[in-house]
Amino acid sequence: MAPKITDFVEDAGAPGIIAGIGAVLLAPVVIPVVAGIGKPIAKSLIKGGLVLFEKSKGAVAELGENWEDMIAEARAELAEGRQLPAVDVASTSVDNASDNGA
């Protein structure tokens, strides 16, 4: 069964009715005041969001550049590894060369 308006009025009692009438009478005064306060707050939140967005774009771009640099370095090392055979540094030291004590 759908609720009736009389059920709400009976449940609210006199204080609820008085508050409702007060709200209806004060709405034309309160709404513009709240809107006047809310608009600057909303604008400052939007500005902060835009600043954060711009800073994060720069950080993401820098991260992408660093990532591309690391990939290029890794590819260069792989290419270098394919061209030169692995050499054991300890067995080919300059000190081991035969110079007959000279």
**pLDDT band for position 86 (cuts 50, 70, 90):** low
Mean pLDDT computed over 19-36: 81
**pLDDT band for position 88 (cuts 50, 70, 90):** low
Cα separation, 23 vs 37, whole angstroms: 19
What DSSP character marks residue 35?
H
Stated pTM of the model: 0.38
Question: If you search the block for the tokens 């990532």, which residue do you land on?
Answer: 67
Cα separation, 42 vs 46, whole angstroms: 6
With a cut of 60, say whether residue 7 has pLDDT above it: yes
**pLDDT band for position 3 (cuts 50, 70, 90):** low
pLDDT, tens only, 31-78 = 888 788 888 888 999 999 999 998 898 889 999 999 999 999 999 988
